[in-house]
Amino acid sequence: MKKVDSKNLSFNYTQTDMRYVAEYKNGKWDEGRMTDDPYIRMNECACVLQYAQTCFEGLKAYETADGRIVCFRPDLNAERMVSSCKRMNMPEFPKDKFVQAVKDVVKANKDFVPEYSSGGALYVRPFMYGKDPIINVVSANEFEFRIFTLPVGSYFKKALSLCVSDYDRAAPHGTGNIKAGLNYAMSLYPTMEAKKAGFNENLYLDPASRKYVEETGGTNVMFVTNDGKVVTPKSDSILPSITKRSIIQIAREELGIEVEERPVEIKEISNFKECFLCGTAAVISPVRMVTDHGKEITFDTSDNEMGPVTRKLYNTLTGMQKGTVKAPEGWVVEICKA
Ligand code: PLP
Ligand code: COI
């Protein structure tokens, strides 16, 4: 029996039944276990609380039309978490154990996976943090890796209005290309300012020259040219989105759409026809307007209909994720029956 109201989904924290926890002590991970306790007790001087030694991942589990529960490319989340851990001086969590733990947590919360027809999913949030008390600025010695889940609906509800930010979300040679909590902490002030001003999100520029488009606080960005080519920024300080990498492959190999990954100047975006954000939470979310210091740049979309190339990519990607379109080998991982 479902424990989720599939007709009233939001993107807010909801407590589900079970979560996974593994502890790292004396140079090794323990066996890991499931727990029903959503609370964490730690010392006031835990490294994560003082120096933000933490990173996370995000993926989704879906109910398919034929009654299975699946997730999408969890191996890539496991891999990206390894990169994040290396950069944050945290121990790697083994990739095979990561994927198994994702499957175990989803299975234990399968009644919270929204119905196929709802368009929702079970969001899966793996994370790791430094746990022991540290006051001098060095790495923790003890860590916890956890995974919790929550049922979610759309992250964005309608076509988006973005604001080109005067703040940076990343530094040159910093941590923009990993999923460190600190990247999100530094985006909170500019995000709240943008929302107060009536925008949905900030569009950040490259922190070195402020000439090129990077991404938003929680998504990569993609554009479509007048002749139907997809263009997306290439930069060392943006997160290598799994959704974007999948879209690029779908465009090139399934839909025969040309894709350019290259530096994109902010001053050229008025030449593009369509613009959309992509990510696990955002899926593919069309952008209606980007405001660059008073200059309004609009794109081919409305609240009811995305641009035609965006729509084609959306239908193919979500069809693969939910089992109605054949996906490349290994992308869709079956967990259990619904
Ligand atoms: N960029 C940022 C800053 C993000 O937080 C996310 C979300 O995970 C993405 C891009 C999209 O990445 P993915 O498609 O792997 O979810
Ligand atoms: C995700 O899409 O998984 C993220 O981590 C982004 C966040 C805005 C929820």
CB atoms within 10 A of CB 155: 17
Nearest protein CA to atom 5 of ligand 2, as residue: 58
Q: Which amino acid is at 252?
A: R
Cα 292 to ligand 1 centroid, rounded to whole Å: 23
- Helix residue ranges per DSSP H, 250-331: 308-321
pLDDT digits (tens, 9 = 90+) for 283-295: 999 999 999 999 9
Residue 304 pLDDT more than 80? no
Residue whose CA is closest, atom 7 of ligand 2?
Answer: 218
Q: Which of 274, 280, 291 is nearest to 203 (CA)?
A: 291
Residue ranges lining ligand 1, Cβ < 6 Å = 58, 215, 218-220, 239, 241-244, 279-280
Confidence of residue 79 (pLDDT cuts 50, 70, 90): very high
The residue contributing the CA closest to ligand 2 atom 8 is: 218
**How many Å lie between the centroid of ligand 1 and the Cα of residue 5?**
26
Which residue ranges form the domains of the chain, and what is each CATH number? Answer: 19-152 (3.30.470.10), 160-322 (3.20.10.10)
Residue 278 CA: which ligand is closest? Answer: 1
Tokens of 60: 């989704």
pLDDT > 70 fraction of the chain, expressed in percent and rounded: 100
pLDDT at 305 over 90: no
Q: Once rounded to an integer, what is the mean pLDDT over residues 267-284?
A: 98
* Neighbouring-strand partners of residue 284: 278
pTM of the model: 0.98
pLDDT value, residue 197? 97
Q: What is the pLDDT of residue 303?
A: 73
- Angle, helices 95-108/74-87, rounded to nearest 10 degrees: 120
Question: Among the atoms of ligand 1, which is closest to the Cα of residue 76?
Answer: 15
pLDDT at 76: 98
Cα(59) to centroid(ligand 1), Å: 10
For residue 153, the CA-to-ligand 1 centroid distance in Å is: 17
For β-strands 230-233 and 259-262, DSSP reports them as: parallel
Q: How far apart are CA 50 and CA 137, in angstroms?
A: 9
| Residues 6+ away with beta carbon under 8 Å from 288 | 159, 160, 161, 298, 299, 301, 302, 303
Q: Where would I find the beta strands (DSSP E) of 168-249?
A: 201-203, 220-224, 230-233
Return the SS3 of 33: strand
**How do residues 160-193 score in pLDDT, each as one tens digit?**
999 999 999 999 999 999 999 999 999 999 999 9
- Mark 290-301 as b/e (b = at least 16 C-beta within 10 Å): bbbeeeebebbb
Confidence of residue 38 (pLDDT cuts 50, 70, 90): very high
Q: Is the pLDDT of residue 256 over 90?
A: yes
| pLDDT tens digit sequence for 137-155 | 999 999 999 999 999 999 9
Q: What angle do CA 192, 193, 194 make, to 5 degrees?
A: 90
Structure tokens, 20: 């996974």
Ligand nearest to the CA of 72: 1
User: Which H helix or E strand runs over 99?
Assistant: helix 95-108
Q: Whose CA is nearest to atom 12 of ligand 1?
A: 241
- Distance of CA 25 from the midpoint of ligand 1 (Å): 30
CA of 59 to the centre of ligand 2 (A): 8
221 Cα to the center of ligand 1, angstroms:
10
Spatial distance between the Cα atoms of 38 and 55, rounded to a whole number of angstroms: 18
Which residue owns the Cα nearest ligand 1 atom 11? 279
As to burial, measured by CB atoms within 10 angstroms (0-12 exposed, 13-18 middle, 19+ buried), residue 36 is: exposed
Pocket of ligand 2 (CB under 6 A): 58, 218, 279-281
Distance CA 30, CA 53 (A): 20
By the 8 A CB rule, do 243 and 283 touch? yes
pLDDT tens for each residue of 186-230 = 999 999 999 999 999 999 999 999 999 999 999 999 999 999 999
**Sequence-ordered alpha helix ranges (H) in 110-218:** 181-196
Which atom of ligand 1 lies nearest, measured to the CA of 245? 14
Phi then psi for residue 24, to 5 deg, are: -115, 120
What distance in Å separates the CA atoms of residue 200 and residue 286, rounded to the nearest whole number?
12
β-strand 274-279 against 68-72: which pairing, if any? Answer: unpaired
Please state the rounded mean pLDDT for residues 21-43: 98
Query: Which residue's C-alpha comes closest to atom 9 of ligand 2?
Result: 281
pLDDT digits (tens, 9 = 90+) for 82-124: 999 999 999 999 999 999 999 999 999 999 999 999 999 999 9
